[in-house]
Structure 1
Amino acid sequence: MGNYLNSLRLRRRKRLAAQYAQPGDQRVAVIGLGRFGSSLAGELMRRGWDVLGIDTDAGLVQKYSDGLTHSAVADCTDPEALRQLGVGDFTSAVVAIGSHIEASILVTSNLLDAGVSNIWAKAISRQHGQILERLGAHHVVLPEHEMGERVAHLVTGRMLDFIEFDDDYALVKTVAPDVATGMPLGQSRVRSRYGVTVVGIKRPGQGFTYATADTVMERGDVIVVTGKTHDVEAFSELS
C-alpha cells in the first residue's frame, strides 16, 4: 500500500513530469537548480526526459551537471541568455526560482515572450502565485504551502496519510472506523452515508488488496478512502 500511495503522491507533487509537453516532445528547461529545481530535474531525467538545467550559480550547475542532459550558467532575466541557449525552441520550461521573486517574474515574462507554450512556475506565497498567473504562467505550484496543508491534516486528525487534489478531492489513509466494520461494504453503504469510497484495505500481517462491495472491513484494518476533502476528513474522525 505504501507504494500505491507513493505513486499517487508523486503524481500530484510532481505531476509536472507527466503533463509537461505535447506527445513526442520530452525536452524541458529547468531554470533554477535549488532543492526544488534539482529534485524535479533529476526526476525528469529518470523518466527519460531531455533536461536543460540552468542557474546563475556556477557551483550548483557544476554539482548537478553530470545528472543532466545539458546544463548552463546563465542569467535568464536577460532575454538574450534564453535566446542563446535556445530555450524558445522548447515546448516546456519550469521556473524553479523561489527566493528571488523579481527574478522569478522576469524569467517567466521572458519565457512567455520567447513563445514557450507550457510554462510551470514555482511560487513561495499565494500573492507570488497570483502575480505569476496574471502574468500568464500556465501552471503555478506552491510546494511548501501544499506540504504544510498536508502535514496539518495529519497532525490534527486520525489520518495516517493525506493527499489533496486541485478540485477539493482527497485520498486518505486511515484506520477503519468501528461504525463501518463487520459487514460488507455494499451493505454498510459507506459511499451513500458518508460520501467516500473505500479504495483498498491492508489487514495486519497481510498485503494491500483493492476493495469491492463484498469486502468486509475489520477493526484495526488500514484503509485508503477517496472523496471530497471534508467528507474524508469527517469519515476519518469516526470511531
Structure 2
Amino acid sequence: MGDRRQQRNRPILIVGLGRFGVALGYQLVAQGREVLAVERDRGLVQKHADALTHVIEADATDIEALRQIGAEEFDAAVVGVGTSIESSVLIAVNLVDLGVDHVWAKAINPAHGKILKRIGCHHVIYPEHDAGVRAAHLVSGQMMDFIKFDDDFAIVKMHPPRDLQGKTIDQCQPRSRHGVNVVGVKSPGREFVYAQPETLVSPGDTIIVSGDVRKLEQFADHM
C-alpha cells in the first residue's frame, strides 16, 4: 500500500506546453501532483513558470538534454507535442530509450498513433478524436456525460429512460432487458448511492449506467 501511495505522489514529466500539455499540467497541479514541464519555446516557459511546479527550457528531441534534467528518474512522462509528428516521435523514443516506465503520447491521427506504439509508447492518446466522440453523445441530448473505455465499453450519466421511472432496479431488470448495468442513482438534493435491487428510480433522478456503447445508446433511446 505504501509503495502504491508513493508512486501516485511521484512527479510527472510533461514535454510540450501547447493547449494539451498546459491543460494536463494545470490539472495535475490542482490535484496536488508535482510537475516538471519541458518546453523549448522561451515565451511559453515564462508564461507558465509561476503556475506549474517546475518549467525548464530545453529541446526534448535531444536525448542528452533529457538526461541532464533527469528524465530517466521519472515513472511517468507525457509527450504533449502534436504539431510536429517528427518531434513527437523523437521525444517519445528518447523517453522509451531512457527507461521511463510509463510513456504517454498525444497522437493527431491513427498513423501517428501507430508509429508511437511501434516505438514502444505505453499509452497513446487521441484527444481530438475522443473529445469528438464524447461531444457527439452529449449533443444528442440523451446523455449528460460519457466516458468510453477499451473494447467499446462505456460509463454514462443520464436521466432515467421511461422504462425505469417509478420502478425499482429489480422490477425493470436493465441487465437482462437492455444489456446494461445501472451502477448508481442520484435523487435531487441527495448524494449518489450504489444501485441495489430495491433502489427506486424516479423521473427526476440521475443515473450512472455502464455497458457496451451501442446498448447504452439503445437504452438512452427509450427516453
Q: CA deviation at 1:34?
A: 1.1
Report how far residue 25 of structure 1 moved.
Answer: 6.2
2:27 corresponds to: 43
Structure 2 residue 77 is matched with structure 1 residue 93: yes
1:63 maps to which residue?
A: 47
Q: Is the 8 A contact 1:21 1:118 kept in 2?
A: no
What does 1:33-182 correspond to in 2, within 5 Å? Answer: 33-156=17-140, 158-182=142-166
| Counterparts in 2 of 1:41 and 1:197: CA distance versus 1, 3 Å | same
Structure 1 range deviating more: 215-224 or 112-121:
215-224
Cα 1:155–1:50 change in 2 (3 A) is closer
Question: Which whole-Å CA distance do the structure 1 matches of 2:34 and 2:206 have between them?
Answer: 40
Whichever residue aligns with residue 49 of structure 2, its letter is: S
Structure 2 letter corresponding to 1:168: D
- For the 8 Å contact 1:56–1:74, the answer to whether it is kept is yes
Matched-pair identity in %:
47
The reply on whether 1:234 has 2:192 as its aligned counterpart is no
- Displacement after TM superposition at 1:165 (Å): 1.5
Kept after mapping to 2: 8 A contact 1:175/1:222: yes
Could you say what secondary structure the match of 1:177 adopts?
Answer: coil
After superposition, the Cα gap between the structure-2 partners of 1:217 and 1:175, relative to the gap in structure 1 and judged at 3 Å, is same
Q: Deviations over 1:50-86 (max 9, x none)?
A: 3211111101111111123322111111122112222
Alignment coverage as a number of residue pairs: 219
Q: Structure 1 residues 100 and 222, CA, compared in 2 at 3 Å: closer, same or farther?
A: same
1:92-124 Cα offsets, whole Å, 9 max, x none, are 211110111110001111112222222111111
Q: Which runs of 5+ in 2 are unaligned?
A: none
CA distance in 2, matches of 1:229, 1:113: 37
The alignment's C-alpha RMSD in Å is: 2.2
| TM-score normalised by structure 2 residue count | 0.89
Q: Measure, in 2, the Cα distance between the counterparts of 1:88 and 1:21.
A: 20
- CA separation of 1:171/1:133 partners in 2, compared to 1, >3 Å: closer, same or farther? same
Kept in 2, the 8 Å contact 1:182–1:216? The answer is yes
Distance across 1 between alignment mates of 2:5 and 2:70: 17
